[in-house]
Structure 1
Amino acid sequence: MNTSEAVVLHDQREVKIVLLMAAFVILMATFFNQLPGGMIGALGAMVIVGFILNYLGDRTPIINQFFGGGAIVVIFGSSWLFHSGLIEGGIEKQITTFTKSGGFLSFYVASLVTGSILGMSTATLKKAALKYIPVILGAVAISFLFAGVIGLFFGKNLFESLMLIALPIMGGGMGAGAVPLVEIMSGRTGMDAASLMSQMVPALAIANAIAIVVAGLLHKLGQLKPEWTGNGDLIRGEAAVATEDAHKDRLDVNKLGIGALIAISMFFLGTLLSNVISMHAYALMILSIALIKVSGLMPERLEQAAHAWYSFVVGNLTPALLVGIGVAYTDLNQIMDALSPMYFVMVFATVIGAALGAGIVGRLMGFYPIESAITGGLCMANMGGTGDVAVLAASKRMKLMPFAQISSRIGGAFMLILATFAIQLLA
């Protein structure tokens, strides 16, 4: 063993010791209900729980090979830990508040979207932009076909199969999808809004769980069929163009600070524009960053800073955010209550149809089918922003966040327009 290897091993041992000490202190504070309030208490618990569950998931046979490893275990494990009452003392409420109204999810997504778009080559971005919309349409078409056929097999009419199951699943999540969809349908069909929501929410929850598991399976499929995947690169043959130079992600405190400020500013820009343009703030943020990137308005040094911040956030905060998703957005009881064989098969068929349709059309458009299936299919069939993070974490393709957000936000908006026309035909 040479000197450099010995130094690395020594540093790794020190890091593990520090993590174990921090875990012991925070877990004791949690056990004795002495966690501080606000962000510091929530984030401390999320980091430690996320680290432990992620470590276990990545080393558990079968789960680490076929089901996404740590990401799956963090989401569902943290949901069970905090919702079962095993961990008490109000920490569940702290984590929920910090993740939702505290803005942790928005902060994370803004960091990923900004850094990944600005870190992308301009040529790749231009090629992908126009070809991506047909991928979403392919996902919608095949998912509706599968849901309709399976529904007819079980004796359901097309309204029940498509409007109450397939459409909400493909609609961009809860806040941007199911809620406005219920408003549209209740106003035009006369159906009770509460009844509609009670039928749609379980479909969303189950579809989100299935999408996460399928994402892990697609990652494994990519290992078995390497010609089907770009390992995070969407366009076939563009991996070399999109690869960043090693010097761009060197740790630099000033660079990280600038990158964080750019990401936050881009989120503010999307929010301001949403007050003028009737679109989701995330969608407007994506369009704004893409326009800045293509036009060359931002100096390369600042683009590198945004990409460095993206790398830092993905590498250090992903398990913590997955805990927030598990606690704030994943209700295992709701999933289990709705898990009848017929309901599960219909939801499963919708998710698989979305992945298959996106994969096939993506291949025809010059994309890798696995990346297309993940972003254009599974990220249409999950629960929006939280589902995007979970799906990309399970498939180990976080750099695809901009395309995932296009699916959730722009694709979700398209589904609401489609719902307006479909009600006239099926209601």
Structure 2
Amino acid sequence: MNTSEAIPSNDQRAVKATLFVAAFIILLATYFNELPGGMIGALGAMAIVGFVLNYIGDRTPIINQFFGGGAIVVIFGSSYLFHSEWISGDIEQQITTFTKGGGFLSFYVASLVTGSILGMSTATLKKAALKYIPVILGAVAISFLFAGLIGLLFGKNLFESLMLIALPIMGGGMGAGAVPLVEIMSGRTGMDASDLMSQMVPALAIGNAIAIVIAGLLNKIGQIRPTWTGNGELIRGDATAIVDNEKKEPLDVAKLGLGALIAISMFFLGTLLSNVISMHTYALMILSIALIKVSGIMPEQLEKAAHAWYTFVVGNLTPALLVGIGVAYTDLNQIIDALSPMYFALVFATVLGAAIGAGLVGRLMGFFPIESAITGGLCMANMGGTGDVAVLAASRRMQLMPFAQISSRIGGAFMLILATFAIQLLG
């Protein structure tokens, strides 16, 4: 929750006191398993746990400088707190249901994608569109190269290193990546689907964790080498990529409500299109919003409203969502159980190769290498939409969500096509 902006300094003490009182009440109810059911109980616990862990992470030396600060602490801290039963009862299931089945993740991603694309200059969007696909291909090529070389050092054949480790990591997450990948491989190789999944899932989880950590490190590298980063701008020499419209005009409830409605409508549009076009909802939503932006048919005031809502969501709901990711999508026990030196080395090589490949190709295509490494590399190597949020939060570049989603969705679909051909060569 962001309480420091747009609040007079003389009111800050009262606001902080109110937050800590609210935190005490909600944490007490959580500890005694007395939270109400549904959205109010889940979101209340997520908001307060996220606020407390984010506050700690942003003020912890080394973690706040090199490892993403609050985002890292919120994801792994909340996973530990709930899965180790420090916080017990029904609240873990409530948070999982609210984040997954309740659609909180979809609501958050829709708000970010809509607001960030509509807040982007049309010229930037046009320049980035055609140049971005080579960045993804560069990430895939170098990640496979690194994974293959490390696998050979440990005595693994290319099928084990690439098809069971690198390909699932680069495949767009669990639902859009690992699950269809297992179906493809089990059908064509005769391998048992459960055995394939048991080998792929730890790779996804560990790869996601490594991607988050590397994202935090890249943010620090950008501070050390400022010429390598646009601080959230993807294209070099473009000072108008994101226009902070909400700072020029006062925010009001009507504008925020209108922005929320636009974001929800764009998600519905992607859902409707996915019934007639065989593509992921997020990918169709991105394409639709981009076409609307480039065509200029949406009035500027509506674009400003969508961008204002995006800013509100990022500033106030990000820590809560990161708690949902930690509880619903991050299993520390699964990560720890798979942490053999060989397995970790293969996964690390894959993720690092993705970041390096995307950064190098991005530089050649006119992008800032750190931004292209984060979006084209790390957002290919994480666990889809949840990983995108975590990686961008750790790198403090949430405005890059549209490019992150392109990597996860369109890049993930490309990996499934690649898998079909690769099985015939390596199987």
The match for 1:183 is: 183
Partners in 2 of 1:56 and 1:249 — Cα distance? Answer: 33
**After the TM superposition, which of the residue ranges 415-424 and 236-245 deviates more from structure 2?**
236-245
Specify the alignment match of 1:80 in structure 2.
80
- The Cα shift of 1:249 comes to 6.0
Percent sequence identity over aligned pairs: 85
Structure 1 unaligned segments of length 5 or more: list them. Answer: 1-6
Give the Cα–Cα distance (whole angstroms) in 1 for the partners of residues 173 and 130 of structure 2.
24
Query: 3-state SS of the aligned residue for 1:24?
Result: helix
* Corresponding residue of 2:264: 264
Amino acid at match of 1:396: R
Matched, 1:349 2:373: no
Matches within 5 A, 1:225-236: 225-236=225-236
Aligned with 1:380: secondary structure? Answer: helix
The match for 2:363 is: 363
**TM-score, length of structure 2 as denominator length:** 0.98
What letter matches 2:388 in structure 1?
A: D
Spell out the pairing of 1:287-366 with structure 2 (5 A cutoff).
287-366=287-366
**Alpha-carbon distance in structure 1 between the residues aligned to 2:31 and 2:127:** 52
Instruction: Give yes or no for contact 1:92–1:327 (8 Å, CA) kept in 2.
Output: yes
Provide the rounded CA distance (Å) in 2 between the counterparts of 1:370 and 1:95.
33
Equivalent-residue separation in structure 2 for 1:107 and 1:237 (angstroms) = 33
Is the counterpart of residue 104 in structure 1 residue 107 in structure 2? no
Q: CA deviation at 1:244?
A: 3.0
- Letter of the 2:145 partner, please give it: L
The AA in structure 2 aligned to 1:180 is P
Given that residues 249 and 304 in structure 1 are in contact (C-alpha distance below 8 angstroms), is that contact kept between their aligned partners in structure 2?
A: no
CA shift in 2, pair 1:59/1:277, >3 Å: same
The whole-number CA distance in structure 2 between the counterparts of 1:310 and 1:291 is 19
Shift of 1:153: 0.8
- Equivalent-residue separation in structure 1 for 2:303 and 2:150 (angstroms): 47
Counterpart for residue 399 of structure 1 = 399
Counterpart of 1:194?
Answer: 194
**Which residue of structure 2 lines up, in the alignment, with residue 373 of structure 1?**
373
1:8 offset after TM fit, Å? 2.8
- Secondary structure (helix, strand or coil) at the match of 2:235 reads coil
- C-alpha offsets along residues 116-142 of structure 1, whole Å, 9 cap, x if unaligned? 000000000000000000000000000
Cα distance in 1 for residues equivalent to 2:391 and 2:158: 28
- What residue number does 2:137 align with? 137
Distance 1:277 1:230 in 2: 35
Cα deviation for residue 10 of structure 1 reads: 2.2
Secondary structure of 1:235's partner? Answer: coil
Report how far residue 248 of structure 1 moved.
4.8
Deviation at 1:247, TM superposition (A): 4.2
Gap runs ≥5 in structure 2: 1-6
Evaluate the alpha carbon distance shift between residue 175 and residue 226 of structure 1 in structure 2; reply closer, same or farther with a 3 A threshold: same
Q: Distance in 1 between matches of 2:185 and 2:361?
A: 30
Counterpart in the other structure of 1:419: 419
Q: How much has 1:24 moved relative to structure 2?
A: 1.1
CA contact (8 A) 2:245 2:307 kept: no
Q: Tell which deviates more after alignment, 192-201 or 10-19.
A: 10-19
Call closer, same or farther: CA 1:249–1:34 in 2, change over 3 Å: farther
Shift of 1:245: 4.2
Q: Alignment partner of 1:239: what SS?
A: coil
One-letter code of the match for 1:121? S
Q: Output the CA distance in 1 between the equivalents of 2:15 and 2:118.
A: 31
Distance change in 2, residues 1:36/1:249 (3 Å): farther
> CA offsets per residue over residues 176-234 of structure 1, 9 Å max, x none?
00000000000000000000000000000000000000000000000000000000000
1:223 partnered with 2:226: no
User: How far has the Cα of 1:14 moved from its partner?
Assistant: 1.1
After TM superposition, the structure 1 = structure 2 runs for residues 46-125 of structure 1, keeping only pairs within 5 Å, are: 46-125=46-125
Q: Following the alignment from structure 1 to structure 2, what is the Cα–Cα distance between the partners of residues 352 and 183?
A: 27
Instruction: Measure the CA separation in 1 of the matches of 2:247 and 2:345.
Output: 48
Residue equivalent to 1:4: none
State the SS of the aligned residue for 2:381.
Answer: coil
Contact 2:203/2:347 (8 A) holds in 1: yes
Amino acid at match of 2:10: H
Query: How far apart are residue 240 of structure 1 and its match?
Result: 3.6
Per the alignment, residue 410 of structure 1 pairs with 410
Amino acid at match of 1:302: L
> How far does residue 27 in structure 1 lie from its aligned partner after superposition?
1.0
